[in-house]
Amino acid sequence: MKVIIAGGAGFIGSNLTDYFINRHATVTVIDNLITGKKTNLEQWHAHPRLRFIETDVCDLDISVLPKADRVYHLASPASPIQYKKHPLMTMRANSTGTERLLEFCRRSGSQPFIFTSTSEVYGDPLVHPQVESYWGNVNPVGVRSCYDESKRYAEALAVNYQRKYRLDVRIARLFNTYGPRMEKNDGRVVSNFIMQAITQQPITIYGDGQQTRSFCYVDDMVNALAALGDQEKLSETIINLGNPHEITISQLATIIKTLTGSRSKIVTQPIGADDPKKRQPDITKAKRYLNWQPTIGLETGLKKTIAYFQNHYRN
Ligand code: UDP
């Protein structure tokens, strides 16, 4: 099998690359290394079935790509700190970048095209848990808009390619995901709290900590993305992927403090604009159409993530 993974040197992308190399696929990774890292793929250095193309997906010369059995598009900054730092690049990766890959798929006959969208398309949701049919509550000009609106645009682009060219398009809306290869300083809550806990720094809760999130371990997410590509035919185009176990950010701080045996104090800091108050995926569709559901509980996943952080980022 031939697989193309745009963003394959990033956190989820590199775990997905591992998955396919381990299953004897030939993988072409496209990454500009803005937020991805070559070291995430160093275990495959000079591997005959991994080809790495260092380029921005927007500037991709699609004539150099092999026809593929599936094309994943994960190339975008994904943590709030990163996309706020690179707002225009984020918008380009999801608009021009998505169009380039869709054009490649259309011209070469490579399909399915699997786009990793986000729970952020639901904005600060007024429907809970979030079902795929919910249109969302997004601030189109807010600080998160570079990410959520460009993902919404990419979804619209992909479904219109599907309508116009009958391209097999599949859209995964990923909810918060954590695990090994998260960047220690990408600003996400799990990486922040673990780093703070293992270095005995204050654990920073933004706001009152009553906002909720639902955290999915990366291996579960990778299995879901693989299952999404595996289906012969899929009558549903858009599928939420995530772990429905919902907790408050305060609870998360306490769990991480306990699991690390940290002496860190838990402190509060002002919350950023447009921070969603709650988020929980409805995964009925993923269960029905992909026969998938998460299997790794929060404590188990956090223990593995903490071990990775202790081994890689402690010094
Ligand atoms: N958060 C926090 N402390 C931190 C980092 C994040 O309290 O050091 C909060 C953040 O305000 C948000 C939640 O944790 O409510 C999840 O943030 P993250 O950046 O991981 O992802 P988001 O779900 O907001 O995209």
Residue 227, pLDDT score: 98
CA atoms within 13 A on the CB side of 264: 27
Q: Which atom of ligand 1 is nearest to the CA of 196?
A: 8
Residue 314, pLDDT score: 75
**pTM given for the model:** 0.97
Q: Which atom of ligand 1 is nearest to the CA of 80?
A: 19
Mean pLDDT by 10-residue block, N- to C-terminus, for the chain (315 residues)?
98 98 98 96 96 96 95 96 95 98 98 98 97 97 97 98 98 98 95 98 98 98 98 95 98 98 98 95 98 98 98 83
Tell me how far apart the alpha carbons of residues 65 and 169 are, in angstroms, rounded to a whole number. 19
**Closest residue by CA, ligand 1 atom 12:** 275
Contact yes or no for 190/260 (Cβ under 8 A): no
DSSP the chain: -EEEEETTTSHHHHHHHHHHHHTT-EEEEEE--SS--GGGGGGGTT-TTEEEEES-GGG--GGGSPP-SEEEE--S--SHHHHHHSHHHHHHHHTHHHHHHHHHHHHHT---EEEEEEGGGGBS-SSSSBPTT---B--TTSTTHHHHHHHHHHHHHHHHHHHHH---EEEEEE--EE-TT--TTS--HHHHHHHHHHTTPPEEEETTS--EEE-EEHHHHHHHHHHHHH-S--S-SEEEES---EEEHHHHHHHHHHHHT--PPEEEEPPPTT--S---B--HHHHHHH-------HHHHHHHHHHHHHHHH--
Contact yes or no for 254/292 (Cβ under 8 A): no
Q: What would the two tokens of residue 95 be?
A: 């608009």
Residue 259 CA to chain centroid, in angstroms?
A: 25
Span from the CA of 80 to the centroid of ligand 1 (angstroms): 8
**Closest residue by CA, ligand 1 atom 5:** 189
Q: Ligand 1 pocket, 227 CB below 6 A?
A: no
Tell me how far apart the alpha carbons of residues 188 and 183 are, in angstroms, rounded to a whole number. 9
Span from the CA of 193 to the centroid of ligand 1 (angstroms): 10
What is the assigned CATH class of domain 2-177+217-243+280-294?
Answer: alpha beta
229: Cβ contacts below 8 Å, ≥ 6 apart: 3, 70, 72, 112, 114, 170
Q: Compute φ and ψ for 173, nearest 5 degrees.
A: -95, 105
Span from the CA of 65 to the centroid of ligand 1 (angstroms): 37
Residue 187, pLDDT score: 93
**Closest residue by CA, ligand 1 atom 11:** 206
**Closest residue by CA, ligand 1 atom 6:** 189
**Closest residue by CA, ligand 1 atom 18:** 188
Instruction: Identify whether 147 is a catalytic site residue.
Output: yes
Q: Ligand 1 pocket, 82 CB below 6 A?
A: no
Q: Which residue among the candidates 83, 147, 161, 178 is catalytic per the annotation?
A: 147
Q: Ligand 1 pocket, 294 CB below 6 A?
A: no
